[in-house]
Homo-oligomer: A and B are copies of this chain.
Amino acid sequence: MRIAFDDALSVMREKLVEHGTSPEKAGMVAYEMARNSLEGTYTHGINRFARLVRGIDSGIVIPGAEPTLISSFGAIERYDGNLGFGITNALFAMDRAMAKASEHGIGMAGLVNTNHWMRAATYGYHAVEKGYAAICFTNTIPNMPTWGAVDSRLGNNPFVMAFPRKDGRHMVFDSAMTQFSYGALEVARLAGERMSVAAGFDKDGLLSDDPAAVLETRRMIPAGFWKGSALSFLLDIFASCITLGRCVADISRLEGDEHGVSQLFFAIDYGKMVDEEEAYRTAERAIAFLKESKKADGAGEIVYPGERMMRARERNLREGIPVDDGVWNEILSL
């Protein structure tokens, strides 16, 4: 079925209020989750909403919790998320990074003891829509083996870099450190399809593009093999050591669904130092050069990071958001 954005938003808002969330906060969370689906990140939108509500019911997500300042110095601050909603905590932290950036040119906010922020790109868009450049990342439960290992001791630690465009069609890089998500493997397995490149190792220790084989071993490969493995580790070190939050190792010792993660948010108010119009023109030269690339045989359109999201958004605004009947019925019954 397809559901209009406004309908998805209002049903999810109502369910959150029924489960103890203030109307204002319920509206923020439901808006971002509906937007994630609208913009094509189905795994972290409507499809994940029932799991979020179960998190509230099990006490992992505390709807009334607000972030509290732990310590700060100049342009850097760190907050305890007090296990509130991952989405509202992360929006708050990026707001703080932007406030500090307005004052100092650059600002950083750390967030400890928070919950899954759903789509990483959300916080990049939050900043670029206000004219800041932004970087942010989170750590996670261990879900990826380091290069050369068989057991998962790294997080996939999603990482975002975002820069605004004048026309609002912003440039946003949003990537977990695994080559594919477990969600993507499940979808391909159900459809009987292979992945476009190797997704992990099979039980014989060979690289494989068969999603079933990789789901069996859970030996996902890091994007770029040793490269994504090493970057994931440093993202965890930054997210936990600069904030004194939990590192992936610490998160692995908590019981229940993923919670208590650590995050960092950076905003740059570059317009305080350079002519914003000139920065926009530089970006347009870079995009034009990229898009003049000669396509490989059989390849799709050459896109810049963020462009595909806008295609999904336009289509889903027009036609409604595709939602599995079972997923929607589960939400209605919560």
Contacts and interface: CB of A to CB of B under 8 A. Distances in A.
Interface of A: 71-78, 103-108, 133, 145-146, 148-151, 153-154, 161-163, 171, 173, 175, 179, 196-197, 201, 205, 207, 219, 222-225, 227-228, 230-231, 233-238, 240-244, 247-250, 252, 266, 268-270, 272-275, 278-280, 282-283, 285-286, 288-290, 292-302, 304-305
A237 B268 contact: no
A51 to B, nearest CB: 25
22 contacts: A75-B105, A75-B106, A104-B104, A105-B108, A106-B106, A106-B107, A146-B293, A148-B302, A150-B293, A151-B294, A161-B234, A161-B238, A171-B237, A175-B224, A175-B231, A234-B305, A237-B286, A240-B282, A241-B279, A247-B286, A250-B282, A266-B266
A290 to B, nearest CB: 5
Given A148-B302, A223-B224, A244 B282 contact: yes
Nearest to A151: B294
A162 to B, nearest CB: 8
A163 B237 contact: yes
B105 A73 contact: yes
B105 A297 contact: no
Given A108-B105, A227-B223, A228-B224, A150 B235 contact: no
Contact of A270 (B179, B241, B269): B241
B205 A297 contact: yes
- Return the 7 tightest CB-CB contacts between A and B, nearest first: A223-B224, A249-B289, A76-B105, A148-B299, A149-B293, A74-B104, A73-B272
Contacts of A235: 161
B179 A227 contact: yes
Contacts of A234: 161-163, 171, 173, 305
Counting every copy of the chain, the complex holds 2
B151 A293 contact: yes
Given A223-B227, A224-B228, A225-B179, A106 B76 contact: yes
A201 B227 CA distance: 19
B175 A241 contact: no
A298 B272 CA distance: 53
A153 B303 CA distance: 13
A76 B144 CA distance: 36
Contacts of A298: 205
A227 to B, nearest CB: 4
A204 B162 CA distance: 35
A283 B244 CA distance: 10
A104 B37 CA distance: 38
A292 B228 CA distance: 19
Contact of A294 (B73, B149, B162): B149
A274 to B, nearest CB: 5
A225 B197 contact: yes
Contact of A285 (B73, B247, B269): B247
Contacts of A289: 153, 247-249, 252
Contact of A274 (B103, B242, B302): B242
Contacts of A244: 274-275, 278-279, 282
